[in-house]
Amino acid sequence: MYTLGEIANIIDAELAGNANIEIIGIAPLSSAKHNQLSYINNNRYLDDLANTNAGAVIISKDVATKCKTNALIVDDVYLAFAAATNKFSNKTSYSSGIHHSAVTNNSTIAAGCNIEKNVTIGNDCNIGPNSFIGNNVVIGNNVHIGPNVCIFHRCIIGDNVEISSGSVIGSEGFGNARDDNNKWHTITHLGAVVIGDNVSIGANTTIDRGTIENTEIHSGVRIDNLVHIAHNVIIGQDCAIAGCTGIAGSTTLGKRCLIGGGVGILGHLEICDDAIINATTTVYKSITSPKTYTGIMPIMVHKQWQNVGLWLIKLDKIANYLNIKLKNLKEK
């Protein structure tokens, strides 16, 4: 817990408001409470700023006049946010064995497991050898966790979930802010991962925790081996995602989407219900119609690909040339 004045000093901010109010955490503008800090780094969230209940907002000078609550005014909002997250970090040291506060019911826990503080494990679960369960994790009933799985602090796992060996749930997301000297500053991710019921997660898959909100895997989802799901991603009910797919941060998949192997989905996109994306496609924009999508070039020998590539980068010039020719023909 910090006073707003203390936070202002930490992030080198100009304080407009009450320096004595106490801040216990960080939350999005839309859900922050009077004792929480938030931030705005994009004008598309101005409506959320107008309606926020946050105790204070990290904000730039050009938007500060629109802030109706306490403001921490900075030159670089994202960098200041990074510094603030590190002060509210939930990182803890690790122990060994099963902590006395953990509730394991009648579940089976194999040798070599670490079960940290205040963990709750439901009935008929099976935890494989050398797995790690972090502080305040909640695991439902009939959950099967393979060997060498890591589930980090505050993650929530529903009923009838299968997590195969080597998977990591709730790892730190890839968030960094760069200062004026081009040095990176880590953003501590304060959210968690919430997994619904009847979900299957393949071996060596990684699901990152959210920045300040949660990463969500809804009920009925099937995820293959070696999939990476980044911070704040939402996977809708009954989606299936094949191996080696990567989904960048803050993207939302609707219900029943089918994602082929090796697909790359960029961040901050919206994929509608029932979309099908074929293997190795790169998705660089939102999808609003439930069709089948393919974005790959057919295989060819390298020399041929070089020739094709030369034509591809000239397509705009070719199109302009043809438009001019077409215009001249019409004028004649």
The residue among 125, 140, 139 whose CA lies nearest residue 170 is 139
d(CA 226, CA 204): 5
Catalytic residue among 99, 231, 268, 302: 231
d(CA 150, CA 112): 13
Residue 299 CB neighbour total at 10 angstroms: 7
* 231 belongs to the catalytic site: yes
Conformational region of residue 204, where left means phi above 0, alpha means psi within -120 to 50, and beta covers everything else: left
User: Token pair 């968690």 is at which residue?
Assistant: 192
User: Exposure string (b/e) for 104-121, b if CB count within 10 Å is 16 or more?
Assistant: beebebeeebbbbeebbb
7 by DSSP, 3-state: which?
helix
Q: What angle do CA 120, 122, 125 make, to 5 degrees?
A: 115
d(CA 33, CA 204): 37
Indicate which residues carry an active-site annotation: 231
